Structures are given as C-alpha cells and as structure tokens.
Copies of this chain bind each other. A is one copy, B any other.
C-alpha cells in the first residue's frame, strides 16, 4: 500500500489527534511603552503564572474566526487588527496533553482596552520589556505596573518574543503601526508608537519626512486640543 493510498483510506477517527488552540498576543502602546494583555492562571499547570488569552478551535469555525471569538470571549475586545503569527507545536509545550497552538497578533489603540480591563477577571495589561539587540530582540520580560516581572506560563514568552519580532519587522514597510493609534493622530503620537515598538529614539524632522514620503497618511486640517503649547495637526490614514 503506497503512502498516497494510505492517505486516502485514512480514517481520522482511528488515530489520536492533537488538540488545536489559538493564543492571542494583544498588544497596545501605553505611555510610550509596548504592553500586552495577560491573564493570571487559577489552576495547575503554571498556577498563578500569567498566560496569553487562548482557547480551543471549534470543528466548525476557521482559524481566524476562532481567534476573533476568543478575543471577544476572553478579553472582551471586538475591534482591532488581527493577524496570524506562527504555529507552535512542540511536544511538551502543554504538560497535560499534546496541544498545537496557532498564535495570533492583535493590535489596537489603548482606548479600546477600557472595557476589557473593567471586566478584569484576572486580566492585566503588562508592560513589555524587549531589549533591542538588532531588531530580533532578546528575551522578553513582562512587568506589572510596579515593575515586578510577571512569570509567563507555557511557551508564552517565546510566542511574545516572536510577536514583537514580527511587529518590528513589519513596522516600517507596512501600515501595521496605525492599528495601534486612534483614527486621528498627531505625528508625535505616531513617532511615539514607532519608538515604543522598536525601543529606539528618532530624530523628529527625519521621522516626520520619512513617514510623509511613504504617502500613507494625510493631514485633516484639524488640530489637537488641550495642549498648553502649539497644538499639532491631526493626521489620518488615507483611503
């Protein structure tokens, strides 16, 4: 019996199959720093550690749907950018059983997080510390408001690291960064997002022109309010 005949006659119910889950890396920028939504575990394994929100993939929903559903159910968030990151399938990533997890990145402005944090069943928006180390970044560290490190469950530190790496890589050749801003934003806010994601500082005039030359954004003529200095123009993404 050839391999292809085997595949045809294969009855999936005969074989033990791995479970498939989605894990979400929900990122935003708060006070000039990258932050990620984490949930504290109440049970073993990794009791009291912090985990990315996740859930099983239903037999009747595709992967993107599952990610979106889990985002609503676990994090009470219905909006924002969503993109598949990578699939993690090491044998012992979950000590209970074989679990293959499709990780997703979700980006949104801080504004959207308010309802999620009100429900707050063990949810926390943790500051992310990722040393620069040439764009790939070193080991990630998630910290609570008081600066203490939050221990991460499973292989979620690795997932987080890959997420930051992906975000950094795409930031200046795709418009992905705008998903972290409100619809209207100033150039200073945009620069702040880039600096938070990349962990670097930019020269203001250079950044300004580099961004404008890409042709992604346009000025609205409106100005920000409430500043005690010259108000900046509000920009928006074209189209």
Residues of A at the B interface (CB closer than 8 Å) are: 2-5, 7-8, 10, 12, 15-20, 39, 41-43, 54-57, 59-64, 73-74, 84, 86-87, 89-91, 97-98, 100, 102, 121-122
* Distance to closest chain B CB from A36 (angstroms): 18
In the complex, are the beta carbons of B43 and A62 less than 8 A apart? no
Across-interface contacts of A41 in B (CB, < 8 A): 4
Identical chains in the assembly: 2
| B73 touching A3, Cβ below 8 Å | yes
Minimal beta-carbon separation of A198 from chain B (angstroms): 16
Please state if A59 and B3 are interface contacts (CB–CB under 8 Å).
no
On chain B, the residues within 8 Å of A90 by CB distance are 62
Closest to A18 in B: B20
CA distance A62 to B5 in the complex (A): 24
A87/B102 contact (C-beta < 8 A), A15-B56, A43-B4 known: yes
Q: Which residues of B contact A55 (CB under 8 A)?
A: 3, 7
Given contacts A2-B121, A19-B12, is CB(A89)–CB(B102) below 8 Å? yes
In the complex, which residues of chain B have a beta carbon less than 8 angstroms from the beta carbon of A97?
Answer: 12
A43 / chain B contacts, CB cutoff of 8 Å: 4-5, 8
Further pairs besides A3-B74, A5-B43, A15-B59: 20, Cβ < 8 Å: A2-B121, A3-B55, A3-B73, A4-B39, A4-B42, A5-B42, A7-B54, A17-B17, A17-B59, A18-B20, A18-B57, A20-B100, A57-B100, A60-B91, A61-B91, A62-B89, A62-B91, A63-B87, A84-B86, A87-B102
Alpha-carbon distance A62/B93, docked complex (angstroms): 10
Query: Which residues of chain B have C-beta atoms less than 8 A from A60's C-beta?
Result: 91, 98
Contact residues in B for A15 (Cβ distance below 8 Å): 56, 59
Expressed in whole angstroms, the Cα–Cα distance for A64 and B90 within the complex equals: 9
Q: List 24 A-B contacts (CB under 8 A).
A: A3-B73, A4-B39, A4-B122, A5-B43, A7-B54, A7-B55, A7-B56, A8-B42, A12-B19, A12-B97, A15-B56, A15-B59, A17-B17, A17-B18, A18-B20, A18-B57, A18-B59, A20-B100, A57-B100, A60-B91, A62-B91, A87-B102, A89-B102, A100-B102
